[in-house]
């Protein structure tokens, strides 16, 4: 256990202090790469959440009165703290997720870039000035904080997930209560530590550790939490929408995906194969934007399938910088995937490669799934419709563009979509017609930039977009202001 990076027992951050759960209970967090104990984690319950919300509520008004430019300067200090501790953050992310240090470091760079973007937004927290239809009247909008923001995140890209929500929530003048992902508690703890060191006033960022139903649900239910921003599964998101909807709280949902990756007959197959593998297997497939449905034109299907299957067989699996993919986050997740593949096999699917847990000496203590490619599955089979959140992709054969587009859109989800083609007309038609919040030409199904709005259609979200300036709409209210003057009193 590496105790120097973070405490062996991860407490909550409430009101600027580190506190164990009131129940004094802890749960174990294991390293997915070797199954060993990383740390014990505070098992928080409703009372802990209530303390955090009360603290946030007390602290928020003076933060709201702090000019946004000054808020931005403070966020900038946090970003500098993240830069100074980038190695530690990356080591922690790697230890908690089992991904390589290289990938964890790159993820941390992304989180830093995002923090910089929002620090700058303090100087650009624009409203709108416009004309009025009435004489001697001026019309404008201003942004106002919501109050307490309840943030709930998953574990797949932990430092990025935290940055995506904390920075925009704070720049808008809110106080935050964050429910950390139970599988990546230490990354959240380090962020709490850095913000504390940077001088963020106590209680503006409270971090609650614990399980979703025990520590996440009370946050969603709390009447003083004005906005809930949730990233996670569609099933939980639907529940959150319902519960928060009862009290008409604002809700932003970034949910799951079953994203199509289309390979046309005119594609650069080398480039397409490279991106198909990255989309399906990088981060062990634990991406909302992973390319899990690979849709290939009949004419090139056999050739493309052979290319990706033979390459998938040679991917290096492990958690070093030389490896291509690591373990999945926990054993329960691994077992869910294994039974999904088994279910597909029983229904007649062909497992082209993978489909099993790695049990050799190097991998047997970790939660490693062999990269898995499957064919001969129907578009409505469970394996085609259920998000598996692991290194599993299905291949589908289609006649032409129309069939590819129809299959791409034949999904309950609509997060990201990608097409590989050299034909400009096909490419643009796809970006226009595919039912997804993100459409990509000639690369992977994943990858986003701090200033761009990410989010999905259908069951991939509720229409909100984060990050980009669009996230400011999630974390602030717009107020219309009308100023009437009397020119005779000049």
Q: Kindly list the residues in this chain that would bind ligand NAD in the complex (CB under 6 A).
A: 152-156, 179, 181-182, 211-213, 216-217, 220, 231-233, 236, 239-240, 254-257, 288, 387, 389, 415, 456
Residue 78 beta carbon to ligand NAD: minimum distance, rounded to whole angstroms: 22
- Rounded to a whole number of angstroms, the minimum distance from the CB of residue 65 to ligand NAD is 31
Nearer to ligand NAD, 181 or 393 (CB): 181
Rounded Cα distance, 306 and 308, in Å:
6
For residue 176, what are its two tokens? 């935050």
Q: How far is the CB of 452 from ligand NAD (least distance, A)?
A: 12
Nearer to ligand NAD, 54 or 231 (CB): 231
| Shortest spacing between CB 240 and ligand NAD, in angstroms | 6
Length of the chain: 490
The active-site residue out of 39, 172, 264, 288 is 288
Q: Rounded CA gap, 162 and 110, in Å?
A: 11
Whether the CB-CB separation of 29 and 315 falls below 8 Å is answered with no
Closer CB to ligand NAD, residue 110 or residue 456? 456
Tokens at residue 246, please? Answer: 């009862």
Q: Is 24 a catalytic residue?
A: no
- Choose between 43 and 179: whose C-beta lies nearer to ligand NAD: 179
* Least CB distance to ligand NAD at residue 479 (A): 29
Choosing from 182, 214, 254, 387, the catalytic residue is 254
Distance of CA 99 to the CA centre of its chain: 16
Min CB(208)–ligand NAD separation in Å:
10
Tokens 């994943």 — which residue? 446
Query: Smaller CB distance to ligand NAD: residue 235 or 478?
Result: 235
- Beta pairing partners, 152: 179, 230
| Among candidate residues 260, 394, 407, 390, the one with its CA nearest the CA of residue 337 | 390
Q: Which is nearer to ligand NAD, 173 or 291 (CB)?
A: 291
Q: How far is the CB of 14 from ligand NAD (least distance, A)?
A: 17
Residue closer to ligand NAD (CB basis): 88 or 182: 182
Active site residue 214: no
User: C-beta of 412: minimal distance to ligand NAD in Å?
Assistant: 12
Q: How far apart are CA 471 and CA 453, in angstroms?
A: 7
Nearer to ligand NAD, 100 or 290 (CB): 290
Task: Return the active site residues.
Answer: 254, 288
């Amino acid at each position: 256990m590496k105790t120097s990076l973070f405490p062996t027992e991860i407490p909550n951050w409430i009101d600027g202090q580190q506190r164990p759960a009131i129940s004094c209970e802890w749960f174990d967090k294991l390293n997915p790469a070797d199954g060993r104990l990383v740390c014990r984690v505070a098992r928080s319950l409703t009372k802990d959440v209530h303390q955090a919300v009360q603290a946030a509520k007390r602290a928020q008004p003076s933060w709201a009165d702090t000019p946004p430019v000054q808020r931005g300067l403070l966020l900038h200090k946090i970003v500098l703290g993240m830069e100074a501790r980038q190695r530690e953050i990356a080591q922690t992310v790697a230890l908690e997720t089992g991904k390589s240090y290289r990938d964890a470091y790159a993820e941390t760079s992304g989180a830093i870039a995002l923090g910089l973007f929002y620090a700058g937004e303090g100087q650009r927290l624009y409203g709108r000035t416009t004309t009025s239809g009435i004489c001697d009247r001026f019309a404008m909008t201003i942004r106002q904080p919501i109050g307490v923001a309840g943030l709930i995140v998953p574990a797949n890209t932990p430092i990025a997930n935290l940055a995506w929500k904390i920075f925009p929530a704070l720049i808008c003048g809110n106080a935050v209560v964050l429910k950390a992902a139970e599988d990546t508690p230490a990354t959240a703890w380090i962020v709490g530590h850095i913000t504390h060191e940077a001088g963020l006033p106590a209680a503006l960022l409270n971090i609650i550790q614990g399980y979703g139903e025990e520590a996440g649900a009370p946050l969603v239910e709390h009447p003083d939490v004005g906005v809930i921003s949730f990233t996670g599964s569609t099933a939980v998101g639907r529940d959150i929408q319902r519960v928060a909807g009862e009290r008409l709280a604002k809700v932003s949902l970034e949910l799951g995906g079953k994203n199509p990756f289309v390979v046309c007959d005119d594609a650069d197959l080398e480039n397409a194969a490279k991106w198909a593998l990255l989309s399906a297997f990088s981060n062990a497939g634990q991406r909302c934007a992973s390319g899990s449905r690979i849709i290939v034109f009949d004419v090139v299907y056999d050739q493309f399938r052979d290319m990706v299957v033979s390459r998938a067989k040679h991917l290096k699996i492990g958690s070093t910088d030389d490896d291509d993919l690591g373990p999945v986050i926990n054993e329960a997740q691994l077992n869910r995937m294994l039974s999904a593949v088994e279910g597909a096999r029983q229904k007649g699917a062909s497992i082209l490669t993978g489909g099993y847990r790695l049990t050799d000496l190097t991998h047997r203590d970790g939660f490693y799934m062999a990269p898995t490619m499957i064919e001969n599955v129907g578009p409505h089979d469970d394996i085609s419709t259920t998000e598996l959140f692991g290194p599993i992709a299905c291949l589908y054969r289609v006649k032409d563009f129309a069939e590819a587009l129809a299959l791409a859109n034949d999904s309950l989800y609509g997060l990201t979509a990608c097409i590989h083609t050299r034909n400009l007309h096909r490419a643009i038609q796809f970006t226009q017609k595919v039912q997804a919040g993100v459409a990509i030409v000639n690369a992977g199904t994943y990858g986003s930039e701090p200033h761009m709005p990410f989010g999905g259609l259908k069951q991939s979200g509720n229409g909100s977009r984060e990050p980009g300036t669009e996230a400011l709409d999630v974390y602030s209210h717009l107020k219309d202001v009308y100023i009437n003057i009397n020119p005779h009193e000049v």
